[in-house]
Amino acid sequence: MAKAYLQAILCFILCIGSAGQATAQTDAFKSIEQNFDLHRKNTLQEKMFLHLDRPVYACGETMWFKLYNVDATLHQLLDISKIAYIEVLDVAQKPVLQTKFALKGGTGNGSFAIPATLNSGNYTVRAYTNLMKNYGPELFFEQPVTIVNTFKSLDQEAAPKPTTYAIQFFPEGGNMVAGVTNTVAFKTVDQTTGKGVDFSGELHDQHGNKVAAFKPYKFGAGHFTFVPAQGEKYTATLKLADNRSVVQPLPKVYDQGYALHLEHTGNGQIKITVNQPGKQAEQLYLLGHTRRMIAVSEAATLNQGAAVFLVDEKVLADGITHFTVFNAQKQPICERLYFKRPSQPLQFEIKADKQQYGTREKINLEIVGKTKTGDVAPAFLSMAVYQLDSLQTGLTNNIESYLRLTSDLKGEIENPDYYFTGVGAADTQAMDNLMLTHGWSRFKWEDILDKEPVAYQYVPEYNGHLINGKVTHVSNGAPAPGITTYLSSPGKHIRLQNGVSDANGLVRFELKDFFGQKDIIVQSNFAKDSTYHFEIFNPFSDKYSTNTLPAFGLSEKLHQDVTLRHVQTQVQHAYFGNYHNRFRPAGIDSTAFYGLPSDQYLLDDYKRFKVMEEVMREYVPGVHVRKRRGKFHFMVLDRPNKSIFQDNPMVLLDGVPVFDIDKIMAFDPLKVNKLDVTTSRFFNGPLVFDGLVSYTTYQGDLAGFELDPRSLLQSYEGLQREREFYAPTYETEEQKRSRLADFRNLLYWAPNVNTTAKGKAGLQFYTSDIAGKYIIILQGISKKGIPIYSTHTFEVN
């Protein structure tokens, strides 16, 4: 009895010691969680989704788009970046169309007029912000589209090329380990089409013995399990549908290591088992996060070569959760992805007043949002209505599948919409195969575990477009630090930006309300600086993802459909071309950057002199004209201090600094419409001016004024102005009887659909003269960050 009691006491002491050790180990792992959370707070990430109006375009048509910019963690609209960059890339990833436009509240919309110079083919539309450049092009939004040049004959179908296949094997957790059961996922893709292929496969050891048989479940993906032997090498033999055989070696089998397996227990829990043969009593740590929000943080001890973690699925957020296991040295040893389907989906139903319509008939739509609980948050939506034909079908990627799935996975996902609609919404096996074959993190663990803060090259464009450049010495091209540089754009709206070059000669200017293509002028004060060269950088990213476009599939077999599309486009240009290039007012603040001047002179209100010196001496008492050593100088009154500034003020002509007073005095005053004078010290960024004198010509184009040859003059594309979508109305009988042909295949584009507090909206538009089947696509996001996607089809007879 005493012996039993002593054994119990000893066991209790050992348990206490073991628990204390486990607690100490758990506390040691806390630094991983703390560093992870700190990294999330210090590295704001954005996600973008671009709603394109159609998947297929003809040259001459307009590509319309609505952009949603959200926080990558919560998926709520993010009002940080105010500028978005959109590009259309060809198959060689060369930009063929580029634009940038303003964002407000995390959304914005724009368009591309597709020129007739493009060849028929598949293209990539990509979107990003300046901040997103820090994380690489793999995080940019990308969407393939097809553009058909109906002015050129389609290429004849080439002789079929031999099909090549990309075959990959993915051990669950990361590595295959000898002596324990391993799950190995696989994926086989036709490299021409980018689609998964069917096959039958066998696994053999190095002696030719069959170990396992396997087949893909869907989209060329699947998995199998087996126990690798120590020192063994394995090979997979695949027999494809065309009777070809492909042999592929499996990844290396490690004699020592960690093998991970995830499974459902059937009672709302996820069981994660980590096996490490031959190792005992090591503390392991599991960290699970969904979009960098920590959901699971647990420690477990290897017992007889296995450690088990039980995770309640309720603690996981909707979408992809990344599970990472760390060893006692805080090194990541295994990773696994798991997808939790949304528990409270927000659905918007599209209700049409009819299912079939005649040509030129009004369509009344009601948009109704609902959830299982009946609560509907305000939503930001966009809608497109276009014809379904042999050239274009419905979308395979939408905002729901993108935000919840593809944006957090590596590589190209075949038909991501499958996992959210119909039978695919309940296909757990296909989803798990996807998680096994497309693992990815939006960060590197080295950046998190290393406590050194990450330095980022690109900053968010909080207020306006940032123009970056460089100042170098003319003599040797070396960076020129500390040089005050001015950027201006001649015009009636007076804007002036300045910056000081840093140690690397880099300089940055922030422009607001800069729309359309304009000339910009970059210079320094040439009265002081005369040996510098100025360069303005391209604002678009020159880095590209590894994604590939599918082979272009249109041929002369579709000649009739292509001809019809050509006719539709040309008829629209012939009858409604005047409506295609109407733009909304940009809402530019016309006030000069210096605000209201102290004095303003409209020179036509005075007797016109032919010499600028007479104008300044006769009409402008706030500026004293003096000559020193044969050169003109301006001395502006400092009215607040009742004195006179001794140094020259900032002198502007149409917003462009003029540092040589003699040149402005030699300028023809009859070309000047207005003169503003600020008779006080003026602050512009870090600079201080002793007053300001601003001349404005009638056209705001410098009126022939000769710039200093050392300044940089170049054309620069500002922000895109918003083009108005036009669709005719047929409200009256006279309008319906109009002889103007209406061959629209895009019936309606509404980039800003506003819902009521109850999640409702009403829309109206008219059908065209083209009969057929049409699809309505509604996309957007709720105020709470829930993606919204809904479709509806109808017929026009």
Convert the pLDDT of each residue in 499-548 to its tens digit: 999 999 999 999 988 999 999 999 999 888 778 999 999 999 999 998 88
pLDDT in the model for residue 61: 95
pLDDT, residue 115, reads: 95
Residue 11 clears pLDDT 70, i.e. is over it:
no
Rounded distance, CA 628 to CA 632, Å? 6
159: Cβ contacts below 8 Å, ≥ 6 apart: none
Sign of CA dihedral 174, 177, 182, 188: positive
* Dihedral pair phi/psi, residue 380, rounded to 5°: -115, 115
Whether 773 shows a pLDDT value over 70: the answer reads yes
Q: Mean pLDDT, to the nearest integer, of 710-735? A: 94
Q: What is the pLDDT of residues 596-655, one digit of tens each?
A: 999 999 999 999 999 999 999 999 999 999 998 899 999 999 999 999 999 999 999 999
Domains of the chain: 176-254 (2.60.40.1930)
Residue range 211-218: mean pLDDT, rounded = 96
β-bridge pairing 332-340 and 319-326: antiparallel
Nearest-angstrom CA–CA distance, 492 and 697: 8
State yes or no: pLDDT of 18 exceeds 50.
Answer: no
Q: Where are the strands (E) in 404-540, listed by range?
A: 465-473, 484-488, 496-500, 506-511, 517-524, 532-536
Distance between CA atoms of residues 437 and 221, nearest Å:
8
Q: If we measure between CA atoms, which residue out of 638, 641, 661 comes closest to residue 651?
A: 661
Give the Cα separation of 65 and 694 in Å (integer).
40
Q: How far is CA 265 from CA 61, 268, 338, in A?
A: 54, 7, 14
pLDDT of residue 453: 66
Mean pLDDT value across residues 129-138: 95
Tens of pLDDT, residue by residue over 97-133, are 999 999 999 999 999 999 999 999 999 999 999 999 9
Q: Find how far residue 279's CA is from the centre of its chain.
A: 46
- Top mean pLDDT of 34-38, 409-413, 673-677 is at 673-677
Per-residue pLDDT, 26: 56
Mean pLDDT taken over the chain: 89
- pLDDT above 80 (res 194): yes
Q: What are phi and psi of 308, to 5 degrees?
A: -120, 130
Q: What is the pLDDT of residue 101?
A: 94
pLDDT tens, residue by residue, 242-268:
888 999 999 999 998 999 999 998 888
Its pTM stands at: 0.90
Average pLDDT over residues 403-407: 94
Residue 19: is its pLDDT beyond 60? no
DSSP string for residues in 221-270: EEEEEE-PPTT--EEEEEEETTS-EEEEEPPPEESS--EEEEEE-SSSEE
Q: Which of 32-41, 242-251, 671-680, 748-757 has the lowest mean pLDDT?
A: 32-41
Among 142, 111, 109, 140, which residue's Cα sits nearest to residue 124? 142
pLDDT at 159 over 60: no
Q: Environment class of residue 231 by beta-carbon count within 10 Å: exposed (0-12), middle (13-18) or buried (19+)?
A: exposed
Mean pLDDT computed over 699-717: 94
Q: What percent of the chain has pLDDT over 90?
A: 71
Q: Is the pLDDT of residue 1 over 80?
A: no
Q: What is the band of 3 on the pLDDT scale with cuts at 50, 70, 90?
A: very low
pLDDT of residue 156: 57
Rg of the chain over Cα atoms, rounded to whole angstroms, equals 33
In the prediction, which pLDDT does 410 show? 86
User: Which structure tokens are listed for 521?
Assistant: 């002028």
- How far is C-alpha 338 from the chain's CA centre? 24
Of 171, 333, 370, which Cα lies nearest the Cα of 252?
Answer: 171
Report the percentage of the chain scoring pLDDT > 70.
Answer: 93
What does the alpha-carbon distance between residue 448 and residue 31 come to, in Å, rounded to a whole number? 10
Q: Is 70 exceeded by the pLDDT of residue 414?
A: yes
Query: Is the separation of the CB atoms in 686 and 640 below 8 Å?
Result: no
Kindly list the distances between the CA atom of residue 674 and the CA atoms of 580, 600, 661, in Å, as whole numbers in the listed order.
36, 7, 18
Euclidean distance between CA atoms 257 and 277, whole angstroms: 8
Look up residue 379 and give its amino acid.
Answer: A
Confidence of residue 187 (pLDDT cuts 50, 70, 90): very high
pLDDT band for position 27 (cuts 50, 70, 90): low
